[in-house]
């Protein structure tokens, strides 16, 4: 994550992960989520926060989820319904579950089927926010497989190349692969220039938006650095930004994601129907293709080769996706997670309001 | 493809596809490729040319392949060796075959296995140039499935984010999906700002290179429009261009590609060993996830919704990946393929030199 998105030092409150975990689990339980599922859902958010993926941790997610549970637009006690199944595939109606509720279960099904048949995928419909895709891809990597995850919503945030109106969400995507001694590869990105949550983060911490990240309400790319506009006053651009700089590649990637998450799952086109998330979880069994021990050694060789590339002028080092996340996780397990004090104040005021114990400081 | 990469009108020679097909097949046969394989290999190049993907058609590819056959660095009569196989996977040593030689066979194996088990993938090692990935992904779409293809070479062309030296090739990637009456989705891109062949194309037709597409030999992004440098005088940038503009996303995508094509296949890290292409072919059976007829209807709804988006100021229309390629294919089947006269002259001089009949005009 760019330095500008980090919480400024003077606004940081360092919270031990077990404390924010306990408070978050209590909030899920208070909203009707069964105890085991509250633990799993919370783990998605806290792992994101530990890995430095603040845009998909408790800061932006939790108050949204609480509002959605409160408005009955999320089902805290869903019954997952398998609508189609083959040896390597499963399609599931999540019965209005939050994405972080159904996601860990669905990814584990893909992993288990993949171990048996070489590769497998689970498509999930009728579900809420997934909080990014990295967590799920990493579940596979932690079990010695290659993981892949995508999600496509029905929100209209992102303007297609040459277009004037937004038609898709940020349609994020992730892949993860284990190595032997090097930190695992974890590629976890929105198919937009920045995740929409980052605009909110930038607003909270007073950072600026780069040229070519967003458009005005006519779909015209804003090519000057500006303060983050208010929600509703801008649209997002796909990876690349402008056509000359290859935004058709980000747009195509987002559309592929939409096709697999919403059309292949049978959920129907998100841009047309405005339906919430369809998710896709896939796992590859390494042993089905090659010797797993050789794979892990080769991954170490590859990743060492990358970090040994001499940096360009003005930069400290070359990194790969997952390296800094791994370093952040180790550091934050020890020192606590640096939250913006405003986030802590929200936890404390919400917990006081609904009568939950909340001990974050 | 950007307008600037099209062959200028005054340099165009329109050739009926069956004539360039016949000449190309004859050239493959002359280089020792068996008759059936010459037909298949040629089809990859001609379909690319018909679809307007000139960077991966006969213009750039054929003289390179002829040189590689001549130098015995390609095997015209390979025996494919299956090194590992499961219900949904196969790993194949291509015995030094050109990528366009082994690729159509390998993709068909993935399609056939996918039809039986829901999804499947074939990883190929020890093989030459694949001529992009779109052709193979489209094979699946033409057979009513979703297709996915990647290839990663061992060439050092592309500089990682923050790096000063190139470590990967352009590592292209493609997905294709059928629709009912709309042209199929075909997303087929290099994970660099531009395919390296496009720099050659730009040189041939006198076009300029955009800011943020390439670097100097210190890995410093060149941020002014310039004439295309000579081969060896520049490196490529990943999708995004600079770090501020998100090049870590293009770099991560390229590295994922490398991991799946070269590590999962057991071929070993291309950047470290400098080995030629490892390829990956994957097919998803739509019926394993949902009703195929509903999928085709939903695809039509989605793609119509996209092309109906009002264009931004200064643009004619909104398109999706595969739409223009489909229009080009219909037009070129009727009017012939517009080759640069220099390409036709190469055909004629090569054919005269080796004594092959060649009737392109």
Say what the ipTM of the complex is: 0.95
Is the model more confident about B197 or about A327? A327
* Per-residue pLDDT at A1: 57
Confidence of residue B164 (pLDDT cuts 50, 70, 90): very high
* Summary mean pLDDT of chain B: 94
Q: Is A249 on the interface with B (CB under 8 A)?
A: yes
Confidence of residue B200 (pLDDT cuts 50, 70, 90): confident
Name the minimum distance, in Å, from the CA of B328 to any CA of chain A.
18
pTM for this structure?
A: 0.96
pLDDT tens for B227-264 read 999 988 999 999 998 888 889 999 999 999 999 999 99
Nearest partner of B131 among B104, B158, B91, judged by Cα = B104
pLDDT tens for B299-323 read 999 999 999 999 999 999 999 999 9
| Whole-number Å distance between alpha carbons of A321 and A326 | 10
* Per-residue pLDDT at B8: 83
Half-sphere exposure of residue A105: CA atoms within 13 angstroms, side-chain side: 24
Tokens of B310: 């009002």
Confidence of residue B9 (pLDDT cuts 50, 70, 90): confident
Concatenating the DSSP letter of every residue in A251-296 gives HHHHHHHHIIIIITTTS--HHHH----EEEEEEE-GGGTS-HHHHH
| Whole-number Å distance between alpha carbons of A309 and B314 | 42
Backbone angles phi, psi at A307, to 5 degrees: -70, -15
* Per-residue pLDDT at B228: 92
Q: Is B24 on the interface with A (CB under 8 A)?
A: no
Please provide the size of chain B in residues: 361
Average pLDDT rounded to a whole number, residues B154-175: 94
Q: Is B295 on the interface with A (CB under 8 A)?
A: yes
SS3 B45: helix
* Per-residue pLDDT at A315: 93
Tokens of A142: 């932690």
Alpha helix positions (H), B124-246: 134-142, 196-205
Q: Who contacts B349 (Cβ-Cβ below 8 Å, separation ≥6)?
A: none
Is-contact B262 B280, C-beta < 8 A?
A: no
Alpha helix positions (H), chain B: 17-30, 35-50, 58-70, 99-117, 134-142, 196-205, 247-258, 270-273, 292-307, 323-335, 341-354
Cross-chain CB nearest to A265 (options B89, B252, B289): B289
Average pLDDT rounded to a whole number, residues B191-217: 85
Tokens of A238: 């796909």
CA atoms B352, B355, B358, B359: torsion sign = positive
Cross-chain CB nearest to B302 (options A118, A210, A258): A258
Whether residue B204 has pLDDT greater than 80: no
Tokens of A102: 């159904």
SS3 B345: helix
Supply angle C-alpha B51, B319, B197, rounded to 5: 40
Name the minimum distance, in Å, from the CA of A219 to any CA of chain B.
6
Is-contact A240 A232, C-beta < 8 A?
A: no
Per-residue pLDDT of chain A (361 residues; tens, 9 = 90+): 566 677 888 899 999 999 999 999 999 999 999 999 999 999 999 999 999 998 899 988 999 999 999 999 999 999 999 999 999 999 999 999 999 999 999 999 999 999 999 999 999 999 999 999 999 999 999 999 999 999 998 889 999 999 999 999 999 999 999 999 999 999 999 999 887 877 877 887 788 888 899 999 999 999 999 999 998 899 999 999 888 888 999 999 999 999 999 999 999 999 999 887 799 999 999 999 999 999 999 999 999 999 999 999 999 999 999 999 999 999 999 999 999 999 999 999 999 999 999 999 8
Residues 156-175 of B with CB under 8 A from A: 159-165, 167, 175
Q: Is A306 on the interface with B (CB under 8 A)?
A: yes
């Amino acid at each position: 994550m760019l330095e500008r998105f980090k919480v400024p030092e003077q606004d940081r409150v360092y919270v031990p992960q077990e404390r924010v975990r306990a408070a978050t689990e209590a909030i899920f339980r208070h909203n009707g989520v069964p105890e085991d599922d509250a633990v799993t859902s919370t783990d998605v958010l806290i792992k994101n926060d530990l890995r430095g993926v603040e845009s998909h941790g408790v800061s932006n997610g939790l108050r949204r989820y609480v509002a959605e549970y409160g408005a009955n637009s999320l089902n805290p006690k869903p019954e997952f319904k398998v609508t189609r199944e083959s040896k390597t595939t499963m399609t599931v109606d999540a019965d209005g579950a939050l994405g972080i509720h159904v996601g860990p279960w669905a990814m584990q099904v893909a992993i288990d089927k993949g171990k048996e048949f070489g590769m497998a995928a689970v498509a999930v419909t009728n579900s809420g926010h997934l909080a990014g895709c990295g967590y799920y891809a990493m579940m596979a990597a932690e079990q010695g497989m290659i993981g892949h995850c995508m999600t496509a919503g029905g929100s209209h945030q992102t303007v297609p190349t040459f277009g004037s109106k937004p038609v898709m969400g940020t349609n994020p995507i992730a892949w993860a692969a284990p190595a032997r001694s090097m930190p695992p590869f974890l590629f976890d990105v929105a198919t937009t220039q920045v995740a929409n949550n980052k605009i909110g983060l930038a607003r909270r911490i007073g950072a600026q938006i780069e040229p070519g990240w967003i458009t005005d309400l006519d779909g015209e790319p804003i090519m000057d650095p500006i303060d983050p506009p208010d929600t509703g006053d801008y649209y997002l651009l796909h990876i690349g930004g402008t056509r000359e700089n290859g935004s058709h590649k980000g747009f195509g990637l987002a559309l592929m994601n939409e096709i697999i998450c919403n059309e292949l799952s049978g959920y129907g086109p998100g841009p047309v129907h405005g339906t919430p998330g369809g998710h896709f979880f896939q796992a590859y069994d390494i042993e089905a293709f090659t010797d797993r021990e050789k794979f892990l050694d080769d991954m170490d060789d590859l990743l060492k080769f990358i970090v040994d590339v001499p940096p360009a002028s003005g930069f400290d080092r070359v990194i790969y996706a997952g390296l800094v996340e791994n370093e952040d996780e180790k550091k934050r397990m020890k020192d606590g997670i640096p939250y913006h004090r405003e986030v802590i104040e929200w936890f404390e005021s919400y917990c006081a309001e609904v009568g939950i114990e909340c001990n974050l400081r």
